[in-house]
Amino acid sequence: MAKKVVFAVPREEDPVVFTFAPLAVLSLAKQVEQAGYEPVILDAKQLEDDFLPRVRKALSDDAAMLWLSGKTGRQLKDLCDAGRAAKEVDPNLPVAFGGWHATMDTPTTLNTPWVDYVVRNQGEYTLPELLLALDAGSDVTQIAGLAGRDDDGRIWYAPERPWERNMDKFGPLPWHMIDMEFYITGNHGRCQPMVTNGRRTINYTYSRGCHGMCSFCHITALWQRAWFSQTPEFVLDQMEHLIKEYKVDGIDFHDSNFFTGLPRARQIVRGMIDRGFDIRWKCSVRADQVNAFDDELMEDIVKAGGLDFAIGAEGGTNRVMGLVAKEIVPNDVIACSKKCAKYGILPEYSFMVGFPDEKNWEDTKATLAFMARLRQISPNALAEYFYYTPFPGTPLFQDYAQKYMPRHETIEDYVRFSTYTANMPWVDKKLPRILTMATSFYFKFAIPNDSMKAKMAKNNPLGIALRIMNKVADWRVRHRRYEFPIEYKLARLIKDLIGLRFGSLRRLQEAM
């Protein structure tokens, strides 16, 4: 009977919003199985409170290793819990950590008492070699891509392993190893769909790396601006398999930049059309790339089912764009938004807030005004903001984390990091309230989407109230004035108290 390799898959947020399939783990699990081991994939998104008990049980049953991999922030909490549990089950059980966080900060990862090895960069070849060497009792210190500690606690590094640039060599992902219905249906409808109008959606990645220079981004730091991918035919074959075998009708491409290799991306888009795929899909792309796309490509994207573009808008000032080395300015994003609107593509913008030097609020207010302007171009567009988080290995990490934060001794010191919450020590406590108030309340009325416009058009008490709010919110957004938000506090009172007790005001409560 084959020894088990337990793969612990963490949650990125809590509660879980999206049920992304663990693509990197599936790729590793395939290689581990081919080496003669039995992969056991345990996903905290699916198991929730049963996650740690299931990890302990799996490790107690002839396990060869616990594998952990994830990125800085919330994911590390589940991984740290699993790592400690492994040593409670068996102090001698090997624990290996991979992924970009462990690669970018190997010393603090190995300084964590329950971590034995770090697999740096790609792990598809290194992990099976490590397992086989441990079983044979042979020397592991020369396995390319590996790092560890000797008996005296000193860290050693094996030679670096060259990138495998032909990702076709890793083969198709073993989707059968996971509960596909959980991921495709968003936990049976409990989580958000990954793609607009998609009912059965899955995430997929055909490339690794990015040519961008963004100074905050772990992708740029990890892959050193390199990029490599699967071939177009390979990608199209995998899409066809997902459509036929699992009845997938939407794909969320998780490539850092789907169009980095433009010739290959064109072939994939054209191939979707030629093969007659009836799907909807979403991908990440830079604003300046969209601006450079010719009409033929834009038309093909739409014809192929490309409905959503995830675009890093980052900030509303040239200063912020320069700070993060985005290589674009806000006007580039505005041009991109207009082009998306022309072709009926829905932009999903991400913004970055909470830099250490935003004390004067000018950048924040400019970013909010920029978000509002983009919403005016495309009222149904989505706009999300994330708090700047200093990821190890990135240029800004050297500038901010080491200046404003205490030294990180172990990987557990990174658990508090999160782009979703304002928990960095330099963030003004008023910032989350202002951002929530502006984006979730005032924007809703100042720049109404189609649903809100329909409610405002009605000549009933609700419609009148909403039209009044439209005028008030529009003034605040245009003038960037969010002080003394009386109407916001009144609306919260209605929503939290009155609307729950009086049926006649429930529609107003829902609109708020």
Of 52-61, 115-124, 294-303, 380-389, the one with minimum mean pLDDT is 380-389
What strands lie across the sheet with 117-119, from one edge to the other? 38-43, 4-9, 63-69, 95-98, 117-119, 146-149, 155-157
What residue spans in the chain does CATH classification 3.40.50.2300 cover?
4-157
Q: Is the pLDDT of residue 112 over 60?
A: yes
Q: How confident is the model at residue 356 (pLDDT cuts 50, 70, 90)?
A: confident
Q: What is the pLDDT of residues 69-97, one digit of tens each?
A: 999 988 999 999 999 999 999 999 999 99
Q: For position 504, what pLDDT does the model report?
A: 44
Q: What percent of the chain has pLDDT over 90?
A: 71
Q: For position 498, what pLDDT does the model report?
A: 56
CATH code for 4-157?
3.40.50.2300
Q: What is the pLDDT of residues 16-30, one digit of tens each?
A: 788 999 999 999 999
Q: For position 510, what pLDDT does the model report?
A: 56
Q: What is the pLDDT of residues 265-306, one digit of tens each?
A: 999 999 999 999 999 999 999 999 999 999 999 999 999 999
Q: What is the pLDDT of residues 129-167, one digit of tens each?
A: 999 999 999 999 999 999 999 989 899 999 999 999 999
Q: Are 37 and 64 in contact (CB under 8 A)?
A: yes
Of residues 386 and 507, more confidence is placed in: 386
Q: What is the pLDDT of residues 313-322, one digit of tens each?
A: 999 989 889 9
Q: For position 208, what pLDDT does the model report?
A: 93
- Residue 9's nearest CA partner among 20, 18, 219 is 20
- Residue 112's nearest CA partner among 155, 142, 51 is 155
Domain 167-404 sits in which CATH superfamily? Answer: Aldolase class I (3.20.20.70)
Q: Is the pLDDT of residue 357 over 90?
A: no
Q: Are 10 and 42 in contact (CB under 8 A)?
A: no
Query: For the CA atoms of 206, 208, 212, 213, what is the dihedral angle to 10 degrees?
Result: 160
Q: For position 219, what pLDDT does the model report?
A: 87
Q: Are 290 and 340 in contact (CB under 8 A)?
A: yes
What residue spans in the chain does CATH classification 3.20.20.70 cover?
167-404
